Amino acid sequence: WISPISSPILKLSSLGLPINHLITTTHFIHYVSDQQKSAHFYEAVLAISPRLNVPGMTEFELIENCVLGLMPWTNISRLLNRPASNPSNDALLAEVYLLVEDPERYHAQALTTGAKELSPLAPRDWGHMVAYSFDWDGHVIAFAAQNR
pLDDT tens figures, 68-117: 999 998 888 887 777 766 666 666 678 899 999 999 999 999 999 999 99
The whole-model pTM stands at 0.74
Output the pLDDT for position 88.
Answer: 63
Rounded Cα–Cα distance for residues 115 and 43 (Å): 13
Average pLDDT of span 3-24: 52
Question: For every residue of the chain, which 3-state class applies, written as one string?
Answer: CCCCCCCCCCEECCCCEEHHHCCCCEEEEEEECCHHHHHHHHHHHHCCCCCEEECCEEEEEEECCEEEEEEEHHHHHHHCCCCCCCCCCCCCCEEEEEECCCHHHHHHHHHHCCCEEEEEEEECCCCEEEEEEECCCCEEEEEEEECC
Instruction: Please give the C-alpha separations between residue 108 and each of 75, 113, 115, in angstroms, as whole numbers.
Output: 31, 9, 9
Confidence check: pLDDT of 133 > 50: yes
- Over residues 22-64, the pLDDT tens digits come to 667 889 999 999 999 999 999 999 999 999 999 999 999 999 9
CA torsion angle for 31, 37, 40, 44 (degrees, to 10)? -90
Rounded Cα–Cα distance for residues 68 and 45 (Å): 13
Confidence check: pLDDT of 123 > 50: yes
Output the pLDDT for position 42.
Answer: 97
